[in-house]
Amino acid sequence: MELVKRLSRKWQMQGSYTYSRSMGDAESFLSENGDDPTLTEFEPGFLDYDQRHVVKINAITYLPGDWRLGGTGQWASGLPYSFVDTFLAEDDVGYVQARRRFGYVDPFLGFVTEHRNNHRNHAAYNFNVRSEKSFVIGKTSASAFFEVFNLLNSDDLRIHTLDSTRTSLQADAERRFGRRFQLGIRLDF
């Protein structure tokens, strides 16, 4: 769904909402999920890019003196992740193969089986702003801009998998670090 306010009275806005759902057997062609034939009943599930709700708003206003001020805002629901247990198993003739099960080891219950990607990361906000000044240098039109990305300086953690080995819990995750700034000049000739 999209909502657009066309340019009038020196400002414009565009907003959108997207609902989606992604389910399947593997995230990619080279996914490790198909390596273990004993896991075929546990492979189907939400894909790692299954993001249900995304709301985006973009706005810009034109100010006196050839100034422009704009910004974007986005709210997105969390992406899924799994608890996995990776271990080495040996067959009857001594061949060792890496195995992967979805679930975790509980000290009292033993191994607790789960479906793939049935946990969710937290929802995340993102706000960016930009100011731009246009001017003329001789026969060339130019502009300078200043942008701030991740205005709220959020450091959201996105978990891909939690590996519950026999001794500890290891996270495969990435953190979005800090606010970034950008300064630039554009020349049109």
How does pLDDT run along the chain (189 residues), one tens digit per residue?
A: 888 888 888 999 999 999 999 887 766 655 655 555 555 445 677 888 888 999 999 999 999 999 999 999 999 999 998 888 877 878 778 888 777 778 887 778 888 888 888 889 999 999 999 999 999 988 889 999 999 999 999 888 888 888 876 567 788 888 888 899 999 999 988
pLDDT at site 46: 84
| DSSP assignment of 92-144 | TTS-EEEEEEEEEEETTTEEEE--BT-EEPPPEEEEEEEEEEEEEETTEEEEE
Q: Which residues of 137-172 are buried (b: 16+ CB within 10 A; e: fewer)?
A: eeeeeeeebebbebbeeeebebbbbbbbeeeeeeee
Within 10 Å of residue 50's Cβ, how many Cβ atoms? 19
